[in-house]
Amino acid sequence: MTETKCDRIVKRGRIFPEIQWSEEEKAEWKAELAGISERCQLVFQRVQPELIKTHYNWVTNRKSDKLYRFYEPIDS
């Protein structure tokens, strides 16, 4: 039997090498994420007492500043 030869070349590196962020862009992005996180934390702190009373042991999933999704606990 003849053996097949694999000619595949493994490429290593970035998926999009043309996209390179400067240090300024990275810092801006991190600052934006920190601002979003701070706003979300403030919203959560405001609604947390009521949520604990009505949804104790549920899982919360924050999608944005205004949208929360609640999932019932899975009893195992």
50: pLDDT strictly greater than 80:
yes
Q: Residue 4: is its pLDDT beyond 80?
A: no
pLDDT tens digit sequence for 59-76: 656 666 655 565 656 564
- Decide if 9 is inside a domain: no
**Which two structure tokens, joined as six digits, stand for 17?**
């090498």
How many alpha carbons lie under 13 Å from residue 60 in its C-beta half-sphere?
16
Residue 38 placed within a domain: yes
Cα separation, 63 vs 37, in Å, equals 12
Query: Residue 30 domain-assigned?
Result: yes
Q: How far apart are CA 64 and CA 47, in angstroms?
A: 14
Number of domains observed in the structure of the chain: 1
Residue 44 lies in domain: 24-71
